Structure 1
Amino acid sequence: MVAIQKEVNPHFEDFLFDWNQKFQFLVGGYGSSKSYHAAFKLILKLLEEKRTALVVREVYDTHRDSTFSLLTEIIEDLGLSHRIRSVSSPMQIRFPNGSKIIFKGMDKTAKLKSINNISIIWIEECSEVKYAGFKELLGRLRHPTLDLHMILSTNPVSESNWTFKYFFKDVRNKLLVLDDRELYKRRTIVVGNTYYHHSTADDNLFLPESYVEQLDELQAFDPDLYRIARQGQFGINGVRVFPQFKVKPHAEVMAEIPKIRRPLRRTGMDFGFQTSYNALVRMVVDREKQILYIFEEYYKNRQTDDVTVEDLKHLKRENIKGDPAEPKTIAYFNKSGFRMEGADKFAGSRLQYTKKVKRFKQIICSDACHNTIYELEDLTFKVNKNDEVVEDDFSIDPHTLSAIWYGLDDYEVADLKGDSVYSSARGY
């Protein structure tokens, strides 16, 4: 075993030698040195034991200027380049004891099938890898005798990313592994077979002050990026579609609705089967205060219309606006005794319907509507390649929003100038 002396950041000392868990999840802000210490940890382990390690990024070509370059730089800095050989084509690092590091990209998954006896995988920028890719890599992590380990390193992204749902909490499926706020407070935590490590630029003693000052300046003009880059915390990543969306206890919502003067009741439904959903949303509009109340939802898929009709039979007396793209489904509901008609769908309707919902001063949702909350509370706009907001496309496909669109089909919300515009449609 080669004696190695190397100054490292104190916050990472325990991490470097802790191999007690299968998963090691590193999340941190820009310049926190998490990637450096993940690479150093890997080198130390492969010098000590004969292993084959796999280093993965979403795109193979990005290795050359990131993980491969970083590992090679550390090896040279340790004075071991005469013993540990870096091969550039194909990228590989070979150790004197027979250990080796190979590099793959998830954009070329076919090449993963030929890999055997992988006992350590490092996924750099794991939030960029798809969940299906993560599961594929779990299947490649196998060895007949050695302990298995997976290191995952990333900057924090949106809470809708699979890494947050898998390692912290999945609101939709009501799964809680670890409250991320607890990690930010304690910095390192072990939960089950996962070692969690949080870091920021403050943990990197080798950073120039000018770099940290540059990160601090983000707070004034880009709070979202400041949260990610400086604080190293998950959260909403992008422009929220409905910043006025609020969640209240169901009993409180149901107590407020009867107090509304001239309430307008609306119900909308989006249809789906395999990957999409049958999403129904019941709403009440306070026209004077411009508040939209959401008090009931239905959200299921992979079931035939006869089952859905049975589930919703308590709504047979209600006027329901459905997705006009499914006339056969609407006809079936009507044949089953429902009062359902197709909403108006036209070119540009997604944008117009979204703008309509955004004009409500408040959107108050019952805490019983779990899927509506999941889809709308932190819903953000997509951005194009020029980093411009696309106003009719979103970070996810929100089926409950489609149901709201259809339910409000014949209603107009007062615009920002205060001019109230109501249609002459039925129900007023």
Structure 2
Amino acid sequence: MTEKEVNPHFEDFLFDWEHKFYFLVGGYGSSKSYHVALKLVLKLLEERRTALVVREVYDTLRDSTFELLSEIIVDLDLEGKVKPISSPMQIRFPNGSKIIFKGMDKPVKLKSIHNISIVWIEECSEVKYAGFKELIGRLRHPKLKLHMVLSTNPVSTANWSYKYFFKDPKNNVHVLDDVDLYRDRVVIIKDTYYHHSVADDNLFLPESYIEQLEDLKTHDPDLHRIARRGRFGVNGIRVLPQFVVAPHEEVMAAIQAIKSPVKRNGMDFGFESSYNALVRLTVDHKEKILYIHWEYYKNKMTDDRTAAEIMEFKESRELIRADSAEPKTIAYYRQMGFNMQPAKKFAGSRLQYTKKVKRFKKIVCSSNCVNVKSELEDLTYAVDKNGEIIEDEFNIDPHTFSAIWYALDDYEVADMKGYAATVSSKARIGVR
């Protein structure tokens, strides 16, 4: 028997083997990886099992999980009994248990693995969703209960790990609100054990380390959210910081109150991995507010099926401005009786359209438009190799944003600087 001091917040997690999935998310220095490694060692000492430890890139395993497990073996006075082997990386136990290490950058090597009853995916947010599904398929044993442990620092809410274990509005997935996890710290839903941790949970950290994390609040708020608070969110610079979501009834009431509303419709085309996105917009030109209050969003739909589902536009003869890169598709809809016109596209049009939308003082999205919300609420700019933003590229391909571009093809938002100057000038004239 060897006594080992552990952080109290992880005690229950260490000895809980009642669930299939264990999802650990937390800030820097919270000791989540250490306690996952300790959990594995204790379990494999107790039962004869084969565990698989995975990261996206194989070469990163040596200086992270392999080294951490090796240190724990020394701390538990198990040297000579439990043997870390460096080439190929594995750890062997006296009862026949073993830990093997694989990278998802070499997926072919997973096919030779059998009888895996425990998988640990370290930094699971870096692993692709296809890799996660492959690992679930590798998790099988004729007799033993199966477990998968996933650990990560929080990333963007656009990451698959967030969408799978928390919320994915686009696919009507709502398993757990992450805010509830931050409050309760440990949550169990069906066969998944959720655990949240921050640096304060690690009683072995020096106070100076926590102070360094606190300093990030001023210099790098995004990193402070991740490293200090251990919370998911938006990584990067938001494209539309003025974007808000409001109840559908409130949005429609606000639109009814506009004296001279500007109504527009726009459509982006897609099929396999992209989407047919059609939106209805109303602009309050005086107040410079854009309202988004209706959406159609589907893929893998042939034109005839889509036409049948948006028949109301044919009946109302509403003008739809659509992606000019698809002239055959536009011609089909026109032949079917739809009032559809191509929106202008030109060199630099993506940037100009983006700047146009950004000029609105406020963008209000109806709560009914779940796909607009999903794509635009946390839309951020892509960055180049130097970390500089690329003003016409984004973290995702936002089909609803393209539809909005096309809808506003012939509408011009007054530049807010010029608008402010005009208002100021009129005010001075009025005073005289």
Give the AA of the match of 2:294: E
Equivalent residue of 1:257, what SS? helix
CA displacement 1:293-334 (0-9 Å, x = unmatched): 111111111121111112112112111111011000000111
Q: Deviations over 1:390-427 (max 9, x none)?
A: 2111111110000001111122212231249xxxxxxx
Aligned to 1:272, the other structure's residue is in SS state coil
Residue 225 of structure 1, CA deviation: 1.4
Matched residue, 2:363: 363
Task: Identify the residue that residue 21 of structure 1 maps to in structure 2.
Answer: 19
Q: Which one of 243, 251, 254 corresponds to residue 253 of structure 1?
A: 251
**3-state SS in 2 of match to 1:283:** strand
Query: Any conservation in 1 of the 2:2–2:77 contact (CA below 8 Å)?
Result: no
TM-score normalised over the length of structure 2:
0.95
Q: Which amino acid aligns with 1:169?
A: K
C-alpha change, 1:70 and 1:194, in structure 2 (3 Å) is: same
**1:103-142 maps to which residues of 2 (within 5 A)?**
103-142=101-140
What's the counterpart of residue 424 of structure 2? Answer: none
Aligned to 1:397: 397
Amino acid at match of 1:398: P
Q: Deviations over 1:336-366 (max 9, x none)?
A: 1111111111122111111110110000111
Q: Provide the identity percentage.
A: 70
Q: Which residue of 1 aligns with 2:225?
A: 227
Aligned-partner Cα distance in 1 for 2:347–2:82: 61
The one-letter code of the counterpart of 1:327 is P
| Counterpart position of 1:330 | 330
Selected match of 1:5 from 3, 6, 20: 3
| Per-residue deviation, 1:207 | 0.6
Q: How does 1:5-404 map to 2 (within 5 A)?
A: 5-316=3-314, 317-404=317-404
* CA–CA distance in structure 1, aligned partners of residues 311 and 194 of structure 2: 48
Q: Distance in 2 between matches of 1:368 and 1:214?
A: 42
Secondary structure at the aligned position of 1:65 is classed as helix
> Could you tell me which amino acid in structure 2 is paired with residue 63 of structure 1?
L
Distance 2:298 2:239 in 1: 24
Q: What SS class does the counterpart of residue 66 from structure 1 fall into? A: helix
Provide the residue aligned with 1:409 in structure 2: 409
Distance in 2 (CA, whole Å) between partners of 1:384 and 1:52 is 42
User: Which secondary structure state, in structure 2, belongs to the residue aligned with residue 152 of structure 1?
Assistant: strand
Corresponding letter in the other structure for 2:407: G
Deviation at 1:281, TM superposition (A): 0.7
Match of 1:173, as an amino acid? N
The answer to which of 51-60 and 344-353 deviates more is 344-353
The residue type equivalent to 1:47 in the other structure is L
Partners of 1:91 and 1:251 in 2: CA distance:
60
2-structure distance, mates of 1:229, 1:384: 23
Point out where structure 2 has 5 or more consecutive residues left out of the alignment. Answer: 421-432
2: CA distance, partners of 1:390 / 1:88: 43
Deviations for 1:139-160, whole angstroms, at most 9, x for unmatched residues? Answer: 0000111111111000111111
Mapped contact 2:239–2:379 kept (Cα < 8 A): yes
Say which SS state the counterpart of residue 27 (structure 1) adopts. strand
Farther-moved stretch of structure 1 (112-121 vs 80-89): 80-89
> Aligned partners of 1:374, 1:314: CA distance in 2, in Å?
25
Give secondary structure in 2 for the equivalent of 1:81.
Answer: coil
250-259 or 106-115: which moved more? 250-259
| Amino acid aligned to 1:413 | V
Bigger drift between 258-267 and 397-406 goes to 258-267
Deviation (angstroms), 1:10: 1.0
Q: Which amino acid aligns with 2:95?
A: N
How far apart are the structure 1 equivalents of 2:205 and 2:387? 29
Q: Quote the Cα distance in structure 2 between the aligned partners of 1:356 and 1:387.
A: 24
Cα distance in 1 for residues equivalent to 2:302 and 2:163: 29
User: What does the per-residue CA deviation read over 1:172-208, in whole Å, with 9 as the maximum and x for residues that have no partner?
Assistant: 2222211211111111121111111111000001111
SS for the counterpart of 1:107 is coil
- The letter for the 1-side match of 2:141 is H
**What TM-score does the superposition give when structure 1 sets the normalisation length?**
0.96
Q: Distance in 2 between matches of 1:106 and 1:44?
A: 26
Alignment correspondent of 2:430: none
Amino acid at match of 1:382: A
Aligned residue-pair number: 418
The structure with the largest helix share of the pair is: 2
Query: For the residues of structure 1 that align with 2:159 and 2:306, how far apart are their CA atoms?
Result: 30
SS in 1 for 2:37: helix
Following TM superposition, by how much is the alpha carbon of 1:121 offset from its aligned partner in structure 2, in angstroms?
A: 0.3
Instruction: Give the ranges of 4+ consecutive aligned residues of structure 1 lying more than 6 Å apart after TM superposition.
Output: none
1:254 positional shift: 1.4
Structure-1 separation of matches of 2:308 and 2:21? 45
In 2, Cα distance between equivalents of 1:347 and 1:86: 58
Letter of the 1:384 partner, please give it.
Answer: D
3-state SS of the aligned residue for 1:87? Answer: strand
Q: Which residue of 2 aligns with 1:426?
A: none
